[in-house]
């Protein structure tokens, strides 16, 4: 209720109404047994207003014309015209002021500071509210000693408030909500609040008296109307990893930001603070202000206030719990489900960011393919950024700005992620600070209509300012290139991380990147973005020739057969693949870089000589009609002046392609160099049946790249099983005494792990880390997953059995954490099909959000539901925890 801007007030009102308390609220009072306070609540203070005067031993009048810090339109007085006691109730009256008064209305605000304050308890107020557009009655509490600083850092508890009761909008909706809210956090204007609205069933708070109450105990506050518990708020609960580091919140509640007396630094505390001190009561009736004047019918209805409006209070009572006065616990008036999704309100505490592991990783936010974790975003203008085809770039994101002011860009916050495969993935760029940057390519299609508009770049971290984070906003001309956008031209803009750090950005949790014309100057702007990255130059060059789409510099190519290779959809794992066909005319096929078909810029693999490879996947759809045909791999360089041709099987342990099965082929750069290839100018890569033997062949190719696989070893991934068990892990049968075994499943899987449940007792099976071994997946949180391939050889004899995936860890102080999910959740809700290999993937973010301590993973299990698995035989392969 203090010092909130007009925009913030409107957002507060809209946010509260959006929490389930709008006029459509339907409360079923017959479904819940709402009890009265238990006998251990002891009355410690009250005012029954039975006399003829306001008891000034309990209440102090506030006298001022400051507008309550909210641009309210009343002066508070100590006049008996504005506050008085008659007939057993207190009346607080708002009425028009005399002509020439500083503000158009007078009213009263009373408080108990230094005469009555409490820490914890049940506070009840029985009151009848005023009505009319512009009225704002409230009963609330503030900290007596402001231990944590001025408002709102020491907290505010709004027991009940309402605005514009009984107003009727154009659709006939009658305002009948009351609100309960907490205010806390950083200094204004970066303060935050959380709360909920409640609608009386078949009644209006201005029609009659209702009892409004809170029950306040250590770490928890509950709100009631007529003893119905409609809202619970709690202190934040921090999650720690196995090293005792704060890594997240198991419940996001309130927080306080305070100076550490030892270090002198501002620190966030996720404790019962600030609601762990003594608070005093305030009652007032405001007229107008930022909130009521900007909702319902807007403004102030002078006619409704012409004869005054009254908040009438029957009594105020304060109880404390004799069970434990120091915590307020033991007297709770609660019901089943009082912390369910409908009642428990999430707070606005900033989420702690795990300490950086120091591993430098690059992030691609968009380069022609959307990143599900980072959707394109229009903050406030109502548009939907669209993927469009650009002649030069292929698919790019196009943004527009209309009459409504807005900012556009990319965001990784839960509220804006619609893709089921996406997850909030704030990026730790701190290890890239020395050489890294945020960069993007931009083309202005249509400039803003306002010629004075300037283009801006903005980046936020840790949920922006309102979530407790940091931000930097600078002109786009502050980029390393130092140029302004030119309409119709693609341009690159680069912002060094070191510069953003100097400007105050927390690099450890970047979650929004924005590019836009300056606020409210951009109407008419249309612009496109591509190659949006947070990265540093690679010390190991890499060439991606084909992954899900053609690299324009390396187009698909049929040398001599006259066919046109195409892109086709394959299985879920491979998505789009390149498909080649061989007809009666002899030919070779592959990927071609030479101009004019390709870019004419060959790839220099010299830096990869020691550890680099040429790698790709192939699936033969239709074999050549000639059964004697053999498959070959050929690579050329420097316009064909050097070339190496090898059997394709040489890249896969002499295993020839099997029709219908994907297989990976790998050729070391060293071996190709030794065979005579000029690795400094590679320009053609081919896969084909031997010349003039391939008629009838159709085959697909995917994930074609030239790179150093060891450069990715430092990504922190874990391979638990692929042909053999990781030496630090072992196959495991929890309870039945069987010995899971390695068997040969044939190409392309080779050796796989086989599990069997052939009798009793029941069991769960999987892989177990050896003693004193665990896996820290924290570095992989943003984009990592737990994945594996599985085939059911024999289904359980119980046809109703379902399959499960479970993963366990040991967290801080030795407390185990675990997540168990239906196996189908890792494969688009597809249950295992007997006899078929299927891939399952569970994002680390989803497991972390479900409560797993990903810093100390020790067990991974796949099994049929307990007591239903007899007869099951199944196989696992490629079990890993890695970046996607």
Indicate the pairing of strand 837-843 with strand 109-111: unpaired
| Dihedral, CA of residue 112, residue 117, residue 122 and residue 123, to nearest 10 | 10
A 10 A CB-CB count for 276 gives 18
Helix (H) or strand (E) holding 670: helix 669-674
Give dist(CA 750, CA 820) in Å, integer: 29
Give the Cα separation of 838 and 876 in Å (integer).
10
Task: Give DSSP secondary structure letters for 417-445.
Answer: ---TT-----B--GGGTTT-EEEEEEEEE
**φ and ψ at residue 787, rounded to 5 degrees:** -140, 155
Nearest Cα residue to 826 out of 810, 812, 843, 844 = 843
Distance (Å, rounded) from C-alpha 241 to C-alpha 231? 31
Q: Which sign does the torsion angle of CA 746, 751, 757, 758 carry?
A: positive
Cα gap 751→725, rounded to integer Å: 10
Please give the Cα distance from 273 to 254 (Å, whole number): 8
Report the DSSP beta bridge partners of residue 485: none
Contact 553, 571 (CB under 8 A): no
**What DSSP element (H or E) covers 688?**
strand 682-689
Degrees to nearest 5, angle at CA 803 with 249 and 826: 50
Closest CA to 758 of 731, 804, 797, 802: 797
The Cβ of residue 264 has, within 10 Å, a number of other Cβ atoms equal to 7
Catalytically annotated residues = 156, 161
Query: Which residues, 6 or more positions from 579, have their beta carbon under 8 angstroms from its beta carbon?
Result: 565, 566, 567, 568, 621, 698, 699, 700
Strands 105-107 and 74-76: parallel
| Range list of β-strands (E), 298-351 | 309-321
Nearest to 312 by CA among 438, 214, 450, 207: 207
Q: What is the DSSP string of 186-201?
A: SSTTSEEEEEEEEE-T
Q: Which residues pair with 90 in a beta bridge?
A: 85, 313
The closest alpha carbon to 839, from 821, 857, 824, 819, belongs to 824
Name the phi and psi angles at 583, rounded to 5.
Answer: -105, -160
Residue 531 to residue 439: CA distance in whole angstroms: 7
């Amino acid at each position: 209720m203090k010092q909130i801007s007009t925009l913030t007030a409107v957002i507060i009102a809209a946010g509260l109404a959006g929490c389930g308390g709008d006029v459509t609220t339907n409360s079923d009072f017959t479904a819940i047994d709402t009890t009265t306070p238990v006998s251990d609540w002891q009355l410690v203070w009250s005012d029954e207003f039975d006399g003829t005067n306001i008891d000034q031993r309990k209440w102090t009048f506030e006298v001022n014309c400051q507008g309550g810090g909210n641009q309210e339109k009343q002066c508070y007085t100590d006049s008996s015209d504005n506050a008085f006691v008659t007939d057993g109730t207190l009346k607080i009256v708002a009425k028009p002021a005399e002509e020439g008064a500083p503000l158009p209305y007078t009213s009263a605000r009373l408080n108990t500071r230094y005469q009555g304050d409490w820490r914890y308890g049940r506070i009840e107020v029985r009151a009848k509210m005023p009505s009319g557009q512009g009225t704002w009655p409230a009963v609330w509490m503030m900290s007596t000693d402001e231990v944590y600083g001025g408002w709102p850092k020491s907290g505010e508890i709004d027991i009940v408030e309402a605005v514009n009761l009984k107003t009727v909008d154009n659709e006939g909706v009658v305002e009948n909500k009351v609100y309960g809210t907490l205010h806390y956090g950083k200094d204004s204007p970066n303060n935050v609040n959380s709360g909920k609205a409640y609608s009386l069933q078949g009644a209006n708070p201005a029609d009659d008296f209702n009892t409004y109450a809170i029950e306040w105990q250590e770490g928890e506050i509950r709100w009631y109307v007529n003893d119905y518990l409609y809202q619970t708020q709690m202190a934040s609960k921090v999650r720690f990893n196995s090293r005792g580091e704060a890594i997240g919140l198991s419940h996001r509640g309130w927080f306080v930001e305070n100076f550490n007396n030892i270090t002198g630094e501002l620190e966030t505390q996720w404790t019962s603070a600030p609601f762990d001190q003594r608070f005093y009561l305030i009652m007032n009736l405001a007229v107008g202000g930022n909130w009521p004047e900007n909702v319902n019918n807007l403004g102030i209805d002078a006619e409704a206030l012409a004869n005054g409006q009254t908040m009438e209070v029957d009594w105020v009572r304060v109880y404390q719990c004799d069970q434990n006065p120091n915590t307020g616990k033991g007297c709770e008036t609660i019901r089943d489900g009082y912390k369910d999704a409908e009642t428990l309100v999430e707070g606005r505490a900033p989420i702690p960011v795990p300490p950086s592991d120091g591993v430098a990783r690059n992030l691609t936010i968009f380069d022609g393919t959307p990143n599900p974790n980072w959707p394109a975003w229009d903050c406030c203008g109502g548009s939907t950024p669209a993927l469009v085809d650009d002649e030069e770039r292929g698919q790019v994101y196009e943004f527009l700005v209309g009459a409504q002011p807005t900012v556009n860009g990319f965001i990784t916050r839960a509220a804006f992620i619609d893709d089921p495969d996406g997850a909030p993935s704030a990026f730790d760029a701190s290890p890239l600070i020395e050489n890294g940057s945020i960069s993007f390519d931009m083309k202005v299609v249509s400039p803003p209509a306002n010629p004075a508009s300037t283009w801006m770049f903005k980046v936020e971290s840790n949920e922006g300012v309102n979530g407790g984070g940091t931000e930097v906003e600078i002109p786009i001309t502050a980029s390393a290139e130092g140029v302004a956008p030119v309409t119709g031209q693609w341009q690159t803009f680069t912002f060094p991380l070191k510069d953003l750090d100097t400007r105050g950005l927390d690099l450890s949790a970047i979650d929004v990147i924005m590019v836009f014309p300056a606020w409210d100057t951009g109407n008419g702007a249309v612009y496109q973005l591509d190659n949006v990255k947070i990265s540093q130059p690679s010390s190991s060059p890499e060439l991606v020739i084909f992954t899900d789409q053609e690299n324009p510099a390396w187009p698909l190519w049929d040398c001599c057969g006259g066919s046109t290779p195409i892109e086709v959809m394959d299985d879920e794992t491979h998505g789009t693949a390149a498909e080649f066909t061989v007809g009666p005319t002899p030919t070779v096929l592959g990927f071609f870089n030479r101009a004019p078909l390709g870019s004419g810029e060959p790839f220099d693999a010299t830096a990869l000589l020691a550890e680099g490879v040429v790698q790709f996947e192939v699936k033969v759809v239709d074999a050549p009609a000639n059964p004697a045909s053999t498959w070959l791999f050929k690579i050329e360089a420097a316009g064909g002046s050097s070339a190496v041709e090898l059997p394709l099987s040489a890249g896969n342990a002499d295993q020839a392609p099997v029709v219908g099965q994907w297989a990976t082929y790998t050729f070391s750069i060293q071996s190709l160099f030794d065979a005579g290839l000029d690795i400094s100018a590679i320009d053609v890569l081919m896969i084909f049946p031997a010349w003039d033997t391939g008629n009838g062949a159709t085959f697909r190719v995917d994930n074609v790249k030239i790179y150093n696989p060891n450069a990715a070893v430092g990504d922190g991934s874990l391979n638990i099983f692929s042909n053999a068990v990781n030496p630090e892990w072992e196959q495991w049968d929890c309870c039945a005494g069987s010995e899971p075994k390695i068997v040969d499943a044939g190409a392309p899987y080779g050796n796989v792990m086989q599990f069997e449940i052939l009798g009793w007792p029941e069991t769960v099976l999987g892989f177990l880390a050896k003693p004193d071994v665990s896996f820290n997946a924290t570095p992989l949180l943003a984009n990592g997953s737990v994945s594996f391939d599985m085939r059911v050889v024999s289904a359980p004899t119980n046809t109703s059995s379902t399959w499960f995936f479970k993963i366990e860890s040991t967290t801080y102080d030795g407390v185990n954490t675990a997540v168990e999910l239906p196996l189908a959740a890792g494969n688009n809700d597809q249950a295992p099909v007997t006899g078929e290999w299927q891939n399952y993937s569970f994002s680390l973010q989803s497991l972390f959000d479900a409560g797993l301590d990903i810093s100390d993973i020790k067990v991974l299990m796949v099994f049929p539901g307990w007591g239903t698995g007899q007869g099951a035989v199944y196989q696992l392969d490629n079990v890993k925890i890695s970046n996607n």
